[in-house]
Chains A and B, each alone.
Chain A
Amino acid sequence: MSTPLEHDYIGLTETSSMERSSEKISSSSSSSSIPSIEDKTSKTANDTCLNLKETELRLGLPGSQSPERKLSLFGKDLETNDNKSNGFAGSSPLKNLVSGAKRGFSDAIDGSNGKWVFAMNCKSEVELAKGAVLASPRGGLDSKTNSQQAKTSVSVMKEVVGVPQSPKPVQDKNNLVPPVNEHASAPASKAQVVGWPPIRSFRKNNMASNLTKNSDEGAGCLYVKVSMDGAPYLRKVDLKTYNNYMEFSSALEKMFSCFTIGQCNSNGLPARDGLSESRLMDLLHGSEYVLTYEDKDGDWMLVGDVPWEMFTDSCRRLRIMKGSEAIGLAPRAMEKCKNQN
């Protein structure tokens, strides 16, 4: 497989360019002062984020770089895990454990100090570093392909991002954005490459407000958290994107399948072929896990009892709980259903 090695635009190619690579780099660092509004706002965002990052409580050695969620394979929602979710015992320490896992992953990237190195302003470098990291796994997950691909993507990512082998550009990058900044800039407004993606200002400005309006009115999406007992992190799903329980269950199944592979096999169900529509239900009903949700009233209900629309209207969050814990749940759900009927 051809790998994108030596994808370093600063003088490492076999080009017959006349200048030394270091000169290019120094010019690119100074080019960061392109006067544009976007630059200024993202710079401010960078600064703000940097401060937040420094004061954030987290597990790990002081001074170790906190991996951004953007570097995480598994989810962007970890940092949105608000502390109100007290219902989930052990969610906070779990999060930090995950941070550890993430750190290891990001170390792989930092270790080779592999970032796209471009002859342009440092912010774009930042952006591209994240972009490169983001690319494959997001693609893998978004298209709902199996996690096999996502895993391949991880290794690819490391390869792709770990590209610039020569230490020279790395050292020269010291006069560009220091690594801490680059990480810090991730969670807030994404550091932007000037003029990329190529969209006219008018469209950019108007789309943004268009979408804000939609989400304010709640028309666009309905995100709820999904937790699974024993899983190290939560997911978020947009209930509006599904039309019925079957779609929803297969989506959840894909999302959490990495945790149920063992159960799948032990039950004799094939791990990953020709999904039957209610596999998660089968899986859950047939074995260890039960899919439950917390409704508007704060009660924990069994998923599947009420019509889909009613479910999406009342569901506040979901929990895939171990069957053993759910024994007392079902009768209560049935009763409530009767009452509602």
Chain B
Amino acid sequence: MGSSELKRSKDSVSSDESARRSSFPDEVLERVLSLLKPHRDRSSVSLVCKDWYNAERWSRTHVFIGNCYSVSPEIVARRFPRIRSVTLKGKPRFSDFNLVPENWGADIHSWLVVFAAKYPFLEELRLKRMAISDESLEFLAISFPNFKALSLLSCDGFSTNGLAAIATHCKNLTELDIQENGVYDKGGSWLSCFPESFTSLEVLNFANLTSDINFDALEKLVGRCKSMRVLKLNRSVSLEQLQRLLVNAPRLAELGTGSFSQELTIREYEELESTLSNCKIMHTLSGLWDAKGIYLPTLYPACSNLTFLNLSYAALQSVELAKLLAHCPRLKRLWVLDTVEDKGLEAVGLNCPLLEELRVFPADPFDDEIVHGVTEAGFLAVSFGCPRLHYVLYFCRQMTNAAVATIVQNCPDFTHFRLCIMNPGQPDYLTNEPMDEAFGAVVKTCTKLQRLSVSGLLTDLTFEYIGRYAKNLETLSVAFAGRSDWGMQCVLGGCPKLRKLEIRDCPFGNAALLSGLEKYESMRSLWMSACNVTMNGCRLLAREMPRLNVEVMKEDGSDDTQAYKVYVYRSIAGPRRDAPPSVLTL
């Protein structure tokens, strides 16, 4: 504490401020600011004056870095000396859909090396779309004795060996959350690496992994970790095994079941039912792989306090869903597959008046064989019954402008509106007009809109609407839309809060790209792929805006004048040095 006080007096500024400071000691300011959590508020605080900047940086324990290349680990460590928890995001979002080359970057290792030196007491690391090797995981496990929480979402590059290292060395681990990653699953023995003396685990999510795990080890682990509140199993865990686990963990707040389709005897069914009925405080339920309708009733008693139900891996029919939802009156978030169809969504509208978030995923996105799925009717039904709906992700094969207009009238509080009409460029199927008016209605009516994904046949008019009305929009995803540069120019010219713009397969060219010159520094990033942007355009952008990194991903054998994939982001770390040969930094 003494050395830090010395530092602060070194940082002192004018005598005016020192007079003010004496009546408001730094310690108090720091104490007050330490209660401030949201990172955006902290950013605002740091801009007030130099004293506040310093108080803020000394009191900050969690840092959120939305783009790992926007800053270097050294810069972070220099500014924030007392970090205990780091959230890092790496690759552009379209890497989730295979649009980013394998070896693009976002490797965590260089960060870990700096952290090991500067933050030896690091406790939490949450990574999204980063590349992590087993060596990095082992390095992490060994370098931070206080390490508590590891969360990996949509990352890749590691195998279960890395998880074994974490299990072996992290004596104080409370959270291990492995979600939707590209994990090389070498088998389930990593679970056995938790020592017998290890009891601190509160969150365990290995639903991502595919191979069989050592159930005996898992059972013992769950048995001795009395504080466990989140347990998400993978598909290899059977119903009977689930029942055995739950007997030891009735206080679970979040449960992800394994496979929900074993052949059960009557007695086993009743046992499961009874065990589940003890799980009264459960608020999140997921998993339910291969769920068979006949076993769903065992869940009913556990659903009374459910606020989040994730059925996106259970191909339920409408009737099954309706029956289940009748027991979930408190539901706020629901994820389903479109096998439930419009009828299932009608049941949602009828049974879930408190619903705030709905995600409908396509069961067969690539197959036209089977006529399943949801239409505008289902979405309408939900909007009539769930006025609090503010987050939607909806995959469908048909939509109309009129339906969307009605939907947003029913639910004007949308903050996240992600509509994916799966056939690219499909018009309103009743009027055959573009879907411009649909998204126009969304941006006009939903003034709180933060995130928008558009689809269907769209002209520049959609983007005129967005630029003019979407005053709070931060993230915009566009695919197969627009007619000319004007569309993108409208967005860049409007949307004062725009932070992330991702565009694929649109007719936007250099004029559009360059119209955002001033804008990009206030944004996190811009992605444009399969548009009409050229290398010359990108070079011009890079030349005019030195504080932007302009990266072009080359395709083998492609035309050298076209910029097929462009990723532009602001950075105070300068151009990155770890780019693979296929990525050109201009």
Interface residues of A (CB under 8 A from B): 1-4, 6-7, 9, 11, 13-19, 23-24, 26-28, 30-31, 33-36, 38, 70, 76, 116, 118-120, 124, 127-128, 131-132, 134-136, 138-143, 149, 152-153, 156, 159-160, 189-190, 192-204, 206-207, 210-211, 213-214, 219-221, 240
Q: Are A28 and B530 in contact (CB under 8 A)?
A: yes
Q: Are B97 and A200 in contact (CB under 8 A)?
A: yes
Instruction: Please give me the residue from chain A that is nearest to B434 by CB atom.
Output: A4
Chain A residues with CB below 8 A from B432, complex form: 1, 3, 136, 152-153, 156, 159-160
Instruction: Verify if B290 is at the interface (C-beta below 8 Å from A).
Output: yes
Instruction: Verify if B361 is at the interface (C-beta below 8 Å from A).
Output: yes
Instruction: Please give me the residue from chain A that is nearest to B418 by CB atom.
Output: A198
Q: Are A27 and B312 in contact (CB under 8 A)?
A: no
Q: Are B292 and A219 in contact (CB under 8 A)?
A: yes
Quote the shortest CB–CB distance from B510 to chain A (angstroms).
Answer: 6
Instruction: Verify if B265 is at the interface (C-beta below 8 Å from A).
Output: no
Chain B residues with CB below 8 A from A149, complex form: 429-430
Chain A residues with CB below 8 A from B49, complex form: none
Chain A residues with CB below 8 A from B375, complex form: 139, 142-143
Quote the shortest CB–CB distance from B77 to chain A (angstroms).
Answer: 32
Contact size class for B? 35 or more
Chain A residues with CB below 8 A from B564, complex form: 27, 31
Contact flag A116-B370 (CB < 8 Å), given A15-B532, A195-B94: no
Q: Are A26 and B559 in contact (CB under 8 A)?
A: yes
A153 to B292, CA, bound (A): 38
Contact flag A207-B530 (CB < 8 Å), given A36-B98, A152-B432, A199-B365: no
Q: Are B398 and A142 in contact (CB under 8 A)?
A: yes
B499-516 interface mask toward A, CB cutoff 8 Å, 1 = contact, 0 = none? Answer: 000001111111110000
Contact flag A194-B99 (CB < 8 Å), given A6-B483, A139-B397: yes
User: Which one of B292, B434, B555 has the greatest number of beta carbons of chain A within 10 Å?
Assistant: B555
Q: Are A221 and B361 in contact (CB under 8 A)?
A: no
Q: Are A4 and B457 in contact (CB under 8 A)?
A: yes
Chain A residues with CB below 8 A from B420, complex form: 197-198
Chain A residues with CB below 8 A from B479, complex form: 196, 198
Q: Are A202 and B181 in contact (CB under 8 A)?
A: yes
6 closest cross-chain pairs (CB), A and B: A195-B97, A17-B509, A139-B398, A27-B559, A139-B429, A27-B562
Chain A residues with CB below 8 A from B425, complex form: 4, 7, 116, 128, 131-132
Instruction: Please give me the residue from chain A that is nearest to B483 by CB atom.
Output: A13
Chain A residues with CB below 8 A from B459, complex form: 4
Instruction: Verify if B556 is at the interface (C-beta below 8 Å from A).
Output: yes
Q: Are A119 and B530 in contact (CB under 8 A)?
A: yes
Q: Are A38 and B429 in contact (CB under 8 A)?
A: no
Chain B residues with CB below 8 A from A17, complex form: 485, 509-511, 532, 534
Q: Are B315 and A9 in contact (CB under 8 A)?
A: no
Interface residues of B (CB under 8 A from A): 94, 96-99, 101, 154, 180-182, 208, 235, 261, 289-290, 292-293, 312-315, 317, 337, 339, 361-371, 373, 375, 377, 395, 397-398, 420, 422-427, 429-434, 457, 459, 477, 479-480, 483-485, 504-512, 530-532, 534, 536-537, 555-559, 561-562, 564
Quote the shortest CB–CB distance from B437 to chain A (angstroms).
Answer: 10
Quote the shortest CB–CB distance from B423 to chain A (angstroms).
Answer: 4
Q: Are A128 and B561 in contact (CB under 8 A)?
A: no
Chain B residues with CB below 8 A from A30, complex form: 555, 557-559
Q: Are A119 and B484 in contact (CB under 8 A)?
A: no
Q: Are A138 and B397 in contact (CB under 8 A)?
A: yes
Quote the shortest CB–CB distance from A219 to chain B (angstroms).
Answer: 7
Contact flag A140-B510 (CB < 8 Å), given A15-B532, A195-B97, A210-B313: no
Q: Are A210 and B290 in contact (CB under 8 A)?
A: yes
Chain B residues with CB below 8 A from A221, complex form: 370
Instruction: Please give me the residue from chain B that is nearest to A6 by CB atom.
Output: B483
Chain A residues with CB below 8 A from B99, complex form: 194-195
Quote the shortest CB–CB distance from A205 to chain B (angstroms).
Answer: 9
A210 to B314, CA, bound (A): 7
A149 to B427, CA, bound (A): 14
Chain B residues with CB below 8 A from A127, complex form: 424
Q: Are A1 and B315 in contact (CB under 8 A)?
A: no
A167 to B430, CA, bound (A): 30
Q: Are B532 and A135 in contact (CB under 8 A)?
A: no
Quote the shortest CB–CB distance from A9 to chain B (angstroms).
Answer: 4
Q: Are B429 and A16 in contact (CB under 8 A)?
A: no
Quote the shortest CB–CB distance from B270 to chain A (angstroms).
Answer: 22
Q: Are A23 and B429 in contact (CB under 8 A)?
A: no
Contact of B98 among A116, A138, A201 (CB under 8 A): A201
Q: Are A198 and B96 in contact (CB under 8 A)?
A: yes
Chain B residues with CB below 8 A from A6, complex form: 483
Chain A residues with CB below 8 A from B561, complex form: 19, 23, 27
Contact flag A210-B289 (CB < 8 Å), given A15-B509, A15-B532: yes
Q: Are B368 and A13 in contact (CB under 8 A)?
A: no
Quote the shortest CB–CB distance from A250 to chain B (angstroms).
Answer: 15
A65 to B526, CA, bound (A): 42
Quote the shortest CB–CB distance from B222 to chain A (angstroms).
Answer: 24
Q: Are B457 and A33 in contact (CB under 8 A)?
A: no
Q: Are B484 and A142 in contact (CB under 8 A)?
A: no
Contact of B532 among A19, A131, A136, A141 (CB under 8 A): A19
Chain B residues with CB below 8 A from A118, complex form: 480, 505, 530
A38 to B99, CA, bound (A): 12
Q: Are A24 and B94 in contact (CB under 8 A)?
A: no
A301 to B304, CA, bound (A): 47
A95 to B96, CA, bound (A): 43
A135 to B397, CA, bound (A): 7
Quote the shortest CB–CB distance from B444 to chain A (angstroms).
Answer: 19
Instruction: Please give me the residue from chain B that is nearest to A240 by CB atom.
Output: B317
A102 to B409, CA, bound (A): 42
Can you give 30 A-B contacts (C-beta < 8 A)?
A: A1-B433, A4-B425, A15-B485, A15-B509, A15-B512, A18-B537, A23-B559, A27-B562, A31-B530, A36-B98, A70-B368, A119-B507, A127-B424, A131-B423, A134-B368, A135-B427, A142-B373, A143-B375, A194-B97, A195-B99, A195-B504, A196-B424, A197-B362, A197-B420, A198-B96, A198-B420, A202-B208, A203-B361, A213-B261, A214-B290
12 further A-B pairs in the complex, CB-CB below 8 A; given A34-B555, A136-B432, A190-B366: A9-B505, A15-B508, A31-B558, A120-B530, A128-B425, A131-B425, A149-B430, A160-B427, A196-B424, A203-B312, A207-B337, A214-B290
Quote the shortest CB–CB distance from A200 to chain B (angstroms).
Answer: 5
Chain B residues with CB below 8 A from A198, complex form: 96-97, 420, 477, 479
A220 to B430, CA, bound (A): 30
A335 to B555, CA, bound (A): 72
A11 to B508, CA, bound (A): 10
Q: Are B423 and A2 in contact (CB under 8 A)?
A: no
Q: Are A24 and B562 in contact (CB under 8 A)?
A: yes
Q: Are B337 and A15 in contact (CB under 8 A)?
A: no
Contact of A18 among B292, B506, B534 (CB under 8 A): B534
A7 to B458, CA, bound (A): 10
A13 to B488, CA, bound (A): 14
Chain B residues with CB below 8 A from A2, complex form: 433-434
Q: Are B556 and A33 in contact (CB under 8 A)?
A: yes
Chain A residues with CB below 8 A from B423, complex form: 128, 131-132, 134-135
Q: Are B505 and A124 in contact (CB under 8 A)?
A: yes
Q: Are B362 and A199 in contact (CB under 8 A)?
A: yes
User: Which one of A16, A202, A206 has the greatest number of beta carbons of chain B within 10 Å?
Assistant: A202
Chain A residues with CB below 8 A from B531, complex form: 119
Q: Are B97 and A76 in contact (CB under 8 A)?
A: no
Quote the shortest CB–CB distance from B516 to chain A (angstroms).
Answer: 15
Q: Are B362 and A213 in contact (CB under 8 A)?
A: no
A61 to B375, CA, bound (A): 40
Instruction: Please give me the residue from chain B that is nearest to A190 by CB atom.
Output: B366
Contact flag A193-B431 (CB < 8 Å), given A15-B507, A204-B365: no
